[in-house]
Structures are given as C-alpha cells and as structure tokens.
Amino acid sequence: MHLIDQQLNLMIRGRFDEGWKIAQELERIDPDDRRAKFNRGWFLIHQGRFQEGFQCLEYGRSLNVYGSPKLNTNKPIWDGSDLTGKIVIINLEAGYGDNIIQARFATEIWRRGGQCILCCDKTVHSIFMRIPGVVECITLDQVPMTYHDFWIPGFSCSWIFGHTVETIPNEPYLFAKPESVEIWKSIIKTEKFKVGIRWSGNPKFEHQQFRIFPPEMLVNLSKNNDHIQFYSLQRDTDLRELPEEIQDLNHILISWEDTAAAIENLDLVITSCTSIAHLASAMGKPTWVIVPILPYHIWAYGDRHSPWYSEQTVVYRQKKFGQWSDTFQQVRDDLLLKFPKKNVESTAE
C-alpha cells in the first residue's frame, strides 16, 4: 500500500498521530509531492497551525480536489495592499456550506475600507446581500462585465487575510429576512421546545460515506421527548417517511430565505456536517453538529467548539470508527439537560 493511501486509512480511523508520522516521512522523501502536502494541510489545521495548514491545502487545486477553476478575469488576486476605495470579488468555492463559510470575509474587506462583491450561485444572492460589507452578488458569467480591482478565491481567504486560530471572525453574519420570519412563525408554532434536524448532505462530497450516520439515530431523538417538537430540515436528497412526532418541512422549504426563516424560529438545530450546520451557525442559532472521526477541516481543530463559530455551535464527535451509539447517547443526554421536561410549562408561559 502506498504511504499516502496508508495515511488516509489511518486518518479515517482517527489514528492521527500515526498519520502525522507518515506526513513527516513523506515530506522527507519528497518535499514537493503535492498530494502529500495537501494531506499535510489537514494535520496542520488539526494542530492549530492555520496559516501553514491552509497554504498546504492550496496544493489540492492542481490536483482538482480543492477549490474551483481560476476566475475569468485579468485582475490580480489581492496581495495584501491597502483596500481603501478598492472593489474585491470573492469567488465562493465548492458547495453551499463552503460558500457560507467563505462569505464572512466580505465584512473584513469592508472593515479595511473596500467594497466586496460575492460571486456565487444565484439561489443564495438574496441572503448573502444582507452580510455587512456586501455591495453586490454576481454569477460567474457576470465577472467579465463587473468592475473590480482584485479577487480572492474563497478557500484562500482565511490565510490571505492572515488569520490564526485565535482571529478567525466568528460572530454571526447571516440574518433571516424579517418578513419571512413572521410568516414562518405561523408554521413553526407550538408551546413545546422547537428542534430542527438534518441527517445528511451532498452525496457527492468526498468520503461522504464516512461522515454520515444511520438517519434513524437522529430521527429517534423524538422518542420519549414529547415535550419537544421536532422539524425535519432535510431537503432534496435522502428523504424518508418520518414518524408523526416529526413535522417534515421538505415541501415548503422553497428557498434559502425559507430555510433561514425556519431556523430563526427554532430553539436548536441538530445536524450532520451539511450546509444547514453552517447556515444555522452563521446565524448564531444554537447548533449541534455531529461529525465523523475524520472531520471536515472546519471542525478539525478543537474539541466541542470550532474557532469558526461562536460557542453556540457545539461539535459532537464520533468516538470510534464505524460506531455512532456513544455520540448519540451524548446528544440525547445533552438534549434533556438543555430542555428539561419539568420546565416545559414555565417556558411556554
């Protein structure tokens, strides 16, 4: 077995110390091996070495495993110069969850005296336009017709702005539309505690099979918790018949505005590593994210919390490869601590 394949096998099983030893060996053998350097990036982030880690991840671009093709522009990537009066396009990369993660940096451009244009899928334009510092949202085909001085690849923002684990901006930056929130009050209407759930995300994600868990483990949280009203936020894929204790919102979550407004009306969101995890966290909503032993780089550093979000976001980690029972027992125990049955009536008042 090639050392890199052996390393990945160890990472998936949570044997990070052994995987890191291989990373060091690979660097000694060939310090220019792009695949080895890309993998090394995850370990460095896991260790809290953000600048080194995210710069190593950049090697994945040439391997087509990280980021998007270069933007169709003759303007340079921002070089750290003064942004006063400058217009910068951030090209949001990968899926919706990554887009949400990267969109926060628009505010940083604004705070440095510049104006930010976000390039992303049209479906998220309206919600991203409310991020402080965003002056416009465009699609890829509009880039050549849009004036700008610089651009930044979305995945590159964290290290280009010089952030460390202590300085990543993690205050809420996405906000539901007030009119939509009012409409959803009539849908999510109960005197019980209100909890939204989502069990899976994009099936095209690399190693998706390792980050998902049996949906029943999340769905079954509704059992013996009749003081809590559960709402399913699952949409588009992996839909299933749900018990009557769970209200399925799939057919009425038409847009991102609907999803944000629904989340705003909830007390808590419990989800796997999906775009919902990032949307709810970016809104500052209490969010519990259930991640596998080998988590996405956003969750790689830290224990119960990620520096990318406030402490309202709690991370529940798989403890043993192939098993989820201990993780979900912790979720169930914490759910009863957060929403005690004896306090239902006083809370409803």
CATH code (residue 124): 3.40.50.20
Q: How far apart are CA 136 and CA 119, in angstroms?
A: 9
> Does residue 191 share a domain with residue 138?
no
Per the structure block, which two tokens stand in for 42? 């995850």
Residue 167 lies in a domain: no
> Does residue 246 share a domain with residue 120?
no
pLDDT at 236: 82
> Does residue 261 share a domain with residue 191?
yes
**CA distances (Å), origin 187, targets 79, 194, 233, 252, 263:** 48, 12, 13, 10, 12
Residue 93 lies in a domain: yes
Burial of 84 (C-beta count, 10 Å sphere; 0-12/13-18/19+)? exposed
**CATH code of residue 234:** 3.40.50.2000
Structural contact between residues 261 and 180, judged by C-beta atoms closer than 8 angstroms: yes
Phi, psi of 195, deg, nearest 5: -125, 125
- Containing structural domain, residue 150: 87-160
pLDDT at 213: 87
Dump pLDDT digits (tens) for 281-326: 999 999 999 999 999 999 999 999 999 999 999 999 999 998 999 9
> Does residue 228 share a domain with residue 150?
no
Structural contact between residues 211 and 273, judged by C-beta atoms closer than 8 angstroms: yes
Residue 189 lies in a domain: yes
**CA distances (Å), origin 199, targets 64, 90, 170, 334:** 28, 30, 24, 18
Phi, psi of 153, deg, nearest 5: -65, 135
- Furthest C-alpha separation in the chain: 66
* pLDDT band (50, 70, 90) for residue 196: very high
> Does residue 286 share a domain with residue 198?
yes
Rounded-to-5 percentages of helix, strand, coil across the chain: 45, 15, 45
Residue 105 lies in a domain: yes
3-state SS assignment for residue 246 = strand
Residue 168 lies in a domain: no
* pLDDT > 90? residue 208: no
- Please count the other Cβ atoms lying within 10 Å of the Cβ belonging to residue 38: 20
Residue 253 lies in a domain: yes
> Does residue 267 share a domain with residue 130?
no
**CATH code of residue 35:** 1.25.40
* pLDDT band (50, 70, 90) for residue 205: low
> Does residue 94 share a domain with residue 54?
no
Quote the pTM value.
Answer: 0.94
* Domain final residue, candidates 128, 160, 192: 160
Q: How far apart are CA 112 and CA 104, in angstroms?
A: 14
Residue 71 lies in a domain: no
> Does residue 229 share a domain with residue 274?
yes
> Does residue 243 share a domain with residue 190?
yes
Residue 218 lies in a domain: yes
Dump pLDDT digits (tens) for 23-36: 999 999 999 999 99
Residue 96 neighbours by CB under 8 Å, 6+ apart? 121, 124, 275, 278
**CA distances (Å), origin 231, targets 49, 199, 269:** 38, 12, 9
> Does residue 122 share a domain with residue 43?
no
Q: Which parts of the chain fold into alpha helices (H)?
A: 3-12, 16-29, 34-46, 50-57, 96-103, 105-111, 125-128, 157-160, 178-185, 208-211, 215-219, 256-264, 275-282, 325-338, 344-348
Helix axes 3-12, 34-46, angle to 10 degrees: 30
> Sheet harboring 287-291: ordered strands across?
246-248, 228-232, 193-198, 268-272, 287-291, 313-317
pLDDT at 98: 96
* Domain final residue, candidates 160, 187, 220: 160
* Domain final residue, candidates 134, 160, 186: 160
> Does residue 265 share a domain with residue 129?
no
Domain count across the chain: 3
Dump pLDDT digits (tens) for 135-191: 999 999 999 999 999 999 999 999 999 999 999 999 999 999 999 999 999 999 999
CA angle 300, 29, 67 (to 5 degrees): 40
Q: What is the mean pLDDT of residues 114-119?
A: 98
> Does residue 52 share a domain with residue 107?
no
Per the structure block, which two tokens stand in for 24? 């060091």
